Structure 1
Amino acid sequence: FIFKQAFSRNASYCRAQDDEYRLEVTTPLQRVDLFMGQFNNVLLTSISVFTKGNLTVANLGTAEGRFMQIVVSRSEPTSPHVSFQLDSHPVSPQVVVENSLADDGYTLVVTGKKITRIPLKGPGCHHFRSCSQCLLAPAFMQCGWCSQQCLRSPECPGGTWTQETCLPRVYEILPSSAPLEGGTKLTLCGWDFGFSKNNRFELKNTVVHIGGQICALEAKSSNKNKLECTVPAAKNPGFNISSSVSVGHGKTLFNTFSYVNPVITSISPTYGPKSGGTLLTIAGKYLNSGKSKRIFVGEKPCTLKSVSVSTVECYTPAQRLPQEYPVRVGIDGAVRDASGHFTYREDPVVLKIHPAKSFLSGGSTITAQGINLNSVCFPQMVITVPKLGMNFSVACSHRSSSEIICCTTPSLKAFDLQPPFVTKVFFIFDGVSSLYFDFDYVNNPVFKHFEKPVFISRGNQNILEIKGNYIDSEAVKGEVLKVGNKSCENLLLQSESILCTVPRDLLKSNRELNIEWRQEVLSTVIGKVLVRQDQNFTGLIAGVVSTSILIFIFLVFFLWRRKKKQIKDVGSDLVRYDGRVHTPHLDRLVSARSVSPTTEMVSSESVDYRSTFLEDQFPSMSQNGSCRPAQYPHSDLSPILSSGDSDLASPLLQTNVHIDISALNPDLVKEVQHVVIGADSLIVHFSEVIGRGHFGCVYHGTLLDNDGRKIHCAVKSLNRITDLEEVAQFLKEGIIMKDFTHPNVLSLLGICLPNEGSPLVVLPYMKHGDLRNFIRNETHNPTVKDLIGFGLQVAKGMKYLASKKFVHRDLAARNCMLDEKFTVKVADFGLARDVYDKEYYSVHNKTGAKLPVKWMALESLQTQKFTTKSDVWSFGVLLWELMTRGAPPYPDVNSFDITVYLLQGRRLLQPEYCPDPLYEVMLKCWHPKPEMRPAFSELVSKISTIFSTFIGEHYVHVNATYVNVKCIAPYPSLLSSQDNTDMDVDT
């Protein structure tokens, strides 16, 4: 409303007002969107309108170059019946419409520099994909349905063209099967159900047939894209029965529906607590048929969890009385009864748990005691950790008693928790939960590993002592200590150890049994146990008589053979102080070397890479690489044995070994894939023997790498490995050795596991053999600096092994190899180790294993325990070997007397050409206290300094003598005065 002032033209009469006001009222024009907002986000650049009959049609152009045609209506929404991309340029607002009333009318549309002529009745009907869309198009477009296409009548010469009706189309049926009894609500999804020209859904002419019977339609839940009907009972059961949807003038067939007969075969479990909550699994056939599932235990429904074709799962309801109840399954109109009943039992109650502690790594067996604990098949234990706000659930198992269940504690090692800490434990028995119990987690124990197998007997001596620290007296009772996969019994904790009894049923075993500390994730092997068989004295007297006769015959044969042999006398049995080796069999080995077909990788003093014999001294080998040591007469064995030792040569090897590799643990086989060499990549020259040892033979070999190149290698057979447990340990050592990469450590090329025969170790071929024989060769002239350099390389290799927490146990010059570049490589550890029957070994432990006593540290001789510090002692002896060019250590001391000799504080004397600083290093290596010996890193530093400052081309002769000929003990005696006096008398 606007008030506007006006001035009167006739204001001369006396009472006329000076001002007049006029009221003007304006009405705003309302904008009408005849397209009902569907083009709100489209920029229209062109609009032209024409009429066809009683229809008003608009031609629209957009800024993106799209042309559209739409019927304009005020009463109902419409959508474009023509829409296509005309050009990339905008449609110009300048449009020409010609002959709009005629059938050939057209419009001219301008886009950019192009003019396009478009028929007013549209470019065609092909863009309508369904019959309903085609028949609901504007009449002036003249579209009809013909052979599953929308065409104009002239375009359909051979088919039936119609503008009146559409046949329905079905693309999915849910469910696809129903029980024979029917009653299933069937849903059909598709198009053009109940089609009519006025675009209204009508069911009066629509009928669904299933197997020749009418499926009753439900109008309220049906529409043009979905039909719902109730399936009748089957007259002719079968799969993919013929079905159809008809609309009066035609019908559409489909055959994806089937009648089936649901069957219940079993239920599991068959019992549970009366409070319910048991997950009941019903097994059978066609249990996913139909639509509605109802499960009853007795008269109460079972809460459905999941359904599949063969199983149905539900949670049992609570019942008032503990007794048997029938199980019934209803599928739509079908009802099936299970053959077995479900039994309700009294609810379980937990009264106490034992032990109430666990180690941090878990794995402890917690025993829960109570009543009716066998009312549930699958009990669970839940540990609540308040500090983490987390629950840990584990499955429990039943023992023979109904009053006991056992559960294994989870590991909490991955969490940042400082033991000891308290948690809460409760148990779940399906629908029943127990009370909470306090439960503690404590620090892990530190068990000391056994250096050698422990012997026990079948009598009362079957008690194990396991030493360690931080052993909680209650947590250890959780069955964490296992012997042969059985719990160690009768645990008794002492100050720094725990005693337990080996189960009696394991005492019949004749193999090694692992002593393990079980944790949740893994088990740590602490040591091994061997059961000593009961001695049988039944034939003792007869055995003594027989043995006496055999010894007499053997001595006669020995004397006859000794007289017959024409062997050059090798001199006195007395050992002199010069640098030469006076083992009687050395000359024979050297002479054998001169005619042996094997090449330079040979030694006259050792086995493995380091020895060879005439081929005719050995029996023929089988193709799997097994071999036997030389079978000398007894008279020939005596020179081989060390002074004072009476050990015979090792027993003959097994020549036919068969190990089924497929029976190994798949996880272990997968873990060693990068170590294993395929049989097709390795060629073993069995006729070319490098050496023979206690565990097998060493052959020349050819390894084919990934590029097809041939690599000369050494292949070692391990015939002593005869069962799967040894093969598994063999593979684990292979994994460790494969990861050793250092220029002064002999690497492992791989291991080969043939289908037949013993395992094979593949090692690099060492051209110059072992270090001891190299320096003993009189044709070689190493200087003092060369020898010190060899020792420095060994120290570097041992420094690397020590950093890997690896203890060698047998470090000596004979166990170091020289390649073609004269690089020293520490060898004979892990898979490469062998046992030699030589004078520097002695049977000195309970297992009968050969030990290198003259290279062993004092504490190793006393306790049979080896550490990195004991390797330092052996390294000192190796330096002494280098400076004497391979002389045997302590040549005047019997192997059995070496411990007493060292306890007196006596050590090896300083060689003639050995520099004083280097001998001081040796003495530090031989300190009686292991902690006072230098580390290998310190040895590398000290020897490097000596090596870099040493000047001169001094050559060391093989027959070198000593500088300090006086027998001075560099360390105080650890023996009593009486012991020293006795020893002096003996020596």
Structure 2
Amino acid sequence: MEGNLTVTIYKCNRMAVTILDGESKPTCGMCLIVDQSYGCSWCPPLNDCLSPMDANTCPTNELLEQGNTCPNPTITSFFPTSGHVSGGTRIAINGYNLGFVPSDITTVSVAGISCTDSEYNSPQLVYCTTRSILQILSGKVVVQFSNNQFLPALSEQTFSYVRPRVLSVYPTRGPRSGGTRLVIRGTKLDSGLTRTVMMSTAPCVPGDGYSCKIEENNSDEIICRTGSANVTDNLLLSVNFDLGCEYNGDTFAYLGDPIVDSFDRLSAIASGGLDLPILGESFDIIQTARLEVRIGSDTVSGDCSNCSDSTMKLICKSPNISVAQTDYPLLLPTSNLSLYMDGVTRYINFGMFFPGSLETAFEFVEDPVYYILPSAENIIKVPNEFQGQYNITIEGDNLTLASNSEDVSVIIGGKACFVSNLFINYLICQPPKLSEGVHQVQVQHGNLNFVVGHVEYLGPDQTLALPILIIVILSCALTVVLLCFCLLVLYNLKATNRSLSVLHTYYYRDSRQKSRKTGMDDDNVSDHTNCSQDMDYLSIGSTAATDAQPPTLPERTRATELFQLKSKVSTDIGKSSSKEEDRSGPDISLDTGKEQQLPLHPKRNMSRVNEKTHESDRKQQRPTTSEEDDEYSKRIYNDHSVSTPVDKLNEDAAAKSLTQVEEEKQ
């Protein structure tokens, strides 16, 4: 079969759409400008564009074909909505059914002022350029058509002829290389279609001066970026609004570019964020800067802040190079660093302009590490009365490899904890005054953040409980010490009483036995009797003291005198019984346990007549039987059944002596 057959499938209402209120709808104007080969027609009652096969659905005599005029021309919007009174603003008018050819439109007016020229684009778009007027005015946009049977298209919006005002410009200076961000404030600064900012020796001279590229614009503000200039001078700033121009006499000064001399610091941690002071000149005219580091094929950067605070010093943050796969410490020549300052490109490569940069190395070290607080449950308690005086120690590692105390911030409860000292493995900070409760402790070291625990600020009631607890503990300890001391004193008194009792028993029985065999004069008997009574008195007094209080100094003195008196009596007894001495055997010393010979009695040679004279008196004074002595000894020993090792020795000595006396009786 010869020839090619082309089949086109179409639908007229899809080819005549217009965006109305955010929706795609067919319109008369777009329908009647479709290629005639398709045979599309507009049906006003159906408000639709019909294909030839659907034309019979429209009522008779209502169908509009190409060549006819569409009814109801409409303006939906226009832009801009305001312009300078000097004119020159080109307005774009949007709508539908705005004619089929340019000759269909006769005039376009804005606020009753006809445009200098109008331009037909399509049934949906018409352009108009405003003319200059002498007054501020506002009104609607109107489009007139050559076919008088249709009413003109009238906008719902209004257009305003305005006179903008420039009020201020900041900053007023910048580097000659440009890049300064200017902020211009005023009123109605968004008027017109095109706006330009110029800096020149004379204001509002077209094509003269240096432009500032607009980046943001609204009714109250224009933000632009200055370009480079080949002069260092004060220039007038003006703003053009289409054919209009406004200025208030503000100037902008182009100054010489800043100069970099050296780095004040040549080390940083791998994660960056430390302050790197850069020394030089004219840094105060710089608004923004950043420092870049090249490590092989990787490039990392750190922003500079507070750049305008100093003329001679630029503070930049060290870049974070931890993303680069490398070992630490890492030494880089300063030629691997680049500094960007506004539009200044001089220091993109330090190797060309920075003296000694090729020989100077910049060091990156391993990141510091901080450890969890060692307190119970990671909570440190701060007493209320010690707020502002209590120091906190936070342990870590690698803290001072490239840092000092100014590089570290400790935050407690949203407030700074003053870092007073920083060492290689710990820091000390003084916590701020905060309200009662538990607050988080956070350490910021460059770009690193660590949560190391919590601090609990105690209230007045809680801090009062601590000293009370200490007082109670100390009181209890003191009471125990005093009780132990009293028990020790009582124990010693009882031991002394037992010793005196045993000693009394021994001497008493020994003297009585020897008195019966050897005989004594009245003086010796009287001394012995007094001694025995004193010993009994001392024994009773000691027992009472044991139950009441320690012996006083007079009592101890009395005891010493009694011992001395007893020694004298024993000496007298020994001298009067020299014969019995050989039979009775050696005496045992209570102090040393050694055998000693008793001394002779001084009245051994007394007359036998005196002995016989006093014999009867002595017999009347001493007990008639030895059972009384045995009973007395049992009573003494029963009262002091518990004895110490020393008491036991005394008791053994006394028992041994008594045994010898009994043998002599037999």
TM-score (norm 1): 0.35
Instruction: Give the secondary-structure state (helix, strand or coil) at the position aligned to 1:313.
Output: strand
* TM-fit CA distance, 1:643: 3.6
| Aligned residue-pair number | 410
Separation in structure 1 between the aligned mates of residue 238 and residue 469 of structure 2, nearest angstrom = 87
Mapped pair 1:253 → 2:154: yes
The answer as to whether partners of 2:117 and 2:129 remain within 8 angstroms in 1 is yes
Q: For residues 237 and 453 of structure 1, do their structure 2 counterparts lie closer, same or farther at Cα, with a shift above 3 Å needed?
A: same
Which of 194, 201, 215 in structure 1 is aligned with 2:115?
A: 215
- Aligned match of 2:307: 398
Mapped pair 1:171 → 2:76: yes
Mapped pair 1:312 → 2:222: yes
- Aligned match of 1:294: 196
The answer as to whether partners of 1:287 and 1:307 remain within 8 angstroms in 2 is yes
Q: What percent of counterpart residues are identical?
A: 18
- Aligned match of 1:78: 36
- Aligned match of 1:431: 343
Mapped pair 1:519 → 2:446: yes
* TM-fit CA distance, 1:314: 2.1
Q: For residues 186 and 468 of structure 1, do their structure 2 counterparts lie closer, same or farther at Cα, with a shift above 3 Å needed?
A: closer
Larger mean Cα displacement after TM superposition, 430-439 or 321-330: 430-439
- Aligned match of 1:443: 366
Separation in structure 2 between the aligned mates of residue 473 and residue 408 of structure 1, nearest angstrom = 17
Q: Write out per-residue CA displacement over residues 417-454 of structure 1, whole angstroms, 9 at most, x where no aligned residue.
A: 54333564332221114243764331112356775799
Gaps of 5+ in 1: 1-28, 43-75, 84-121, 144-149, 157-161, 196-200, 456-460, 531-625, 647-987
* TM-fit CA distance, 1:359: 1.5
- Whichever residue aligns with residue 214 of structure 1, its letter is S
* TM-fit CA distance, 1:330: 0.5
- Whichever residue aligns with residue 425 of structure 1, its letter is L
Separation in structure 2 between the aligned mates of residue 473 and residue 218 of structure 1, nearest angstrom = 74
Separation in structure 2 between the aligned mates of residue 449 and residue 141 of structure 1, nearest angstrom = 85
Mapped pair 1:185 → 2:90: yes
The answer as to whether partners of 1:517 and 1:526 remain within 8 angstroms in 2 is no
- Aligned match of 1:353: 263
* TM-fit CA distance, 1:475: 3.9
Separation in structure 2 between the aligned mates of residue 248 and residue 409 of structure 1, nearest angstrom = 74
* TM-fit CA distance, 1:372: 0.7
Q: For residues 385 and 482 of structure 1, do their structure 2 counterparts lie closer, same or farther at Cα, with a shift above 3 Å needed?
A: farther
The answer as to whether partners of 1:241 and 1:258 remain within 8 angstroms in 2 is yes
Separation in structure 1 between the aligned mates of residue 399 and residue 96 of structure 2, nearest angstrom = 76
Separation in structure 2 between the aligned mates of residue 474 and residue 628 of structure 1, nearest angstrom = 44
- Aligned match of 2:239: 329
Separation in structure 1 between the aligned mates of residue 289 and residue 469 of structure 2, nearest angstrom = 70
* TM-fit CA distance, 1:290: 1.4
Q: How does 1:331-730 map to 2 (within 5 A)?
A: 331-376=241-286, 378-387=287-296, 389-398=298-307, 400-413=309-322, 417-421=326-330, 424-433=336-345, 434=347, 435-436=349-350, 439-447=362-370, 468-476=396-404, 479-480=407-408, 485=416, 496=424, 516-520=443-447, 522=449, 643-644=476-477
Q: For residues 257 and 182 of structure 1, do their structure 2 counterparts lie closer, same or farther at Cα, with a shift above 3 Å needed?
A: farther
Separation in structure 2 between the aligned mates of residue 637 and residue 439 of structure 1, nearest angstrom = 56
Whose Rg is larger? 2
Separation in structure 2 between the aligned mates of residue 645 and residue 238 of structure 1, nearest angstrom = 100
Q: Write out per-residue CA displacement over residues 13-57 of structure 1, whole angstroms, 9 at most, x where no aligned residue.
A: xxxxxxxxxxxxxxxx98586xxx5x3469xxxxxxxxxxxxxxx
The answer as to whether partners of 1:173 and 1:186 remain within 8 angstroms in 2 is yes
Gaps of 5+ in 2: 11-33, 201-208, 351-356, 375-379, 384-388, 480-666
- Whichever residue aligns with residue 447 of structure 2, its letter is E
Instruction: Give the secondary-structure state (helix, strand or coil) at the position aligned to 1:432.
Output: coil
* TM-fit CA distance, 1:82: 6.5
The answer as to whether partners of 1:367 and 1:404 remain within 8 angstroms in 2 is yes
* TM-fit CA distance, 1:241: 3.6
* TM-fit CA distance, 1:182: 1.5
Q: For residues 152 and 336 of structure 1, do their structure 2 counterparts lie closer, same or farther at Cα, with a shift above 3 Å needed?
A: farther
Q: Write out per-residue CA displacement over residues 333-391 of structure 1, whole angstroms, 9 at most, x where no aligned residue.
A: 21111453223232112222232222223231111111111111x23223234246233
Instruction: Give the secondary-structure state (helix, strand or coil) at the position aligned to 1:644.
Output: helix
* TM-fit CA distance, 1:479: 2.2
Separation in structure 2 between the aligned mates of residue 154 and residue 224 of structure 1, nearest angstrom = 21
Separation in structure 2 between the aligned mates of residue 513 and residue 208 of structure 1, nearest angstrom = 70
The answer as to whether partners of 2:176 and 2:232 remain within 8 angstroms in 1 is yes
Q: For residues 304 and 454 of structure 1, do their structure 2 counterparts lie closer, same or farther at Cα, with a shift above 3 Å needed?
A: same
Separation in structure 2 between the aligned mates of residue 348 and residue 490 of structure 1, nearest angstrom = 36
Instruction: Give the secondary-structure state (helix, strand or coil) at the position aligned to 1:374.
Output: helix
Which of 253, 273, 276 in structure 1 is aligned with 2:178?
A: 276
Instruction: Give the secondary-structure state (helix, strand or coil) at the position aligned to 2:477.
Output: coil
- Whichever residue aligns with residue 325 of structure 1, its letter is L
* TM-fit CA distance, 1:179: 2.0
- Whichever residue aligns with residue 479 of structure 1, its letter is D
Q: For residues 322 and 386 of structure 1, do their structure 2 counterparts lie closer, same or farther at Cα, with a shift above 3 Å needed?
A: same
The answer as to whether partners of 2:258 and 2:282 remain within 8 angstroms in 1 is yes
Q: For residues 238 and 642 of structure 1, do their structure 2 counterparts lie closer, same or farther at Cα, with a shift above 3 Å needed?
A: farther
The answer as to whether partners of 1:368 and 1:406 remain within 8 angstroms in 2 is yes
* TM-fit CA distance, 1:273: 0.8
Q: Which has the higher contact order (CA 8 A, sep 6+)?
A: 2
* TM-fit CA distance, 1:187: 1.6
Which of 126, 140, 149 in structure 2 is aligned with 1:227?
A: 126
Q: For residues 513 and 79 of structure 1, do their structure 2 counterparts lie closer, same or farther at Cα, with a shift above 3 Å needed?
A: closer
* TM-fit CA distance, 1:317: 2.2
Q: Write out per-residue CA displacement over residues 258-315 of structure 1, whole angstroms, 9 at most, x where no aligned residue.
A: 2133232332333211211112222333323211222102221122333333332322
Separation in structure 2 between the aligned mates of residue 465 and residue 637 of structure 1, nearest angstrom = 25
- Whichever residue aligns with residue 341 of structure 2, its letter is F
Q: For residues 290 and 627 of structure 1, do their structure 2 counterparts lie closer, same or farther at Cα, with a shift above 3 Å needed?
A: closer
The answer as to whether partners of 1:296 and 1:329 remain within 8 angstroms in 2 is yes
* TM-fit CA distance, 1:403: 0.6
Separation in structure 1 between the aligned mates of residue 62 and residue 104 of structure 2, nearest angstrom = 33
TM-score (norm 2): 0.50
Structure number with higher helix proportion: 2
Q: Note the aligned Cα RMSD (angstroms).
A: 5.1
* TM-fit CA distance, 1:183: 0.8
* TM-fit CA distance, 1:211: 1.1
Q: Write out per-residue CA displacement over residues 845-882 of structure 1, whole angstroms, 9 at most, x where no aligned residue.
A: xxxxxxxxxxxxxxxxxxxxxxxxxxxxxxxxxxxxxx
Separation in structure 2 between the aligned mates of residue 425 and residue 462 of structure 1, nearest angstrom = 44
The answer as to whether partners of 1:297 and 1:316 remain within 8 angstroms in 2 is no
- Whichever residue aligns with residue 240 of structure 2, its letter is G
* TM-fit CA distance, 1:242: 5.3
Instruction: Give the secondary-structure state (helix, strand or coil) at the position aligned to 2:88.
Output: coil
- Whichever residue aligns with residue 327 of structure 1, its letter is L
* TM-fit CA distance, 1:325: 1.9
Q: For residues 390 and 641 of structure 1, do their structure 2 counterparts lie closer, same or farther at Cα, with a shift above 3 Å needed?
A: same
Instruction: Give the secondary-structure state (helix, strand or coil) at the position aligned to 2:284.
Output: helix
- Aligned match of 2:28: none
Which of 106, 114, 123 in structure 2 is aligned with 1:206?
A: 106
Q: For residues 521 and 403 of structure 1, do their structure 2 counterparts lie closer, same or farther at Cα, with a shift above 3 Å needed?
A: same
Separation in structure 2 between the aligned mates of residue 280 and residue 475 of structure 1, nearest angstrom = 37
Instruction: Give the secondary-structure state (helix, strand or coil) at the position aligned to 1:233.
Output: coil
- Whichever residue aligns with residue 443 of structure 1, its letter is E
The answer as to whether partners of 1:206 and 1:248 remain within 8 angstroms in 2 is no
- Whichever residue aligns with residue 121 of structure 2, its letter is S
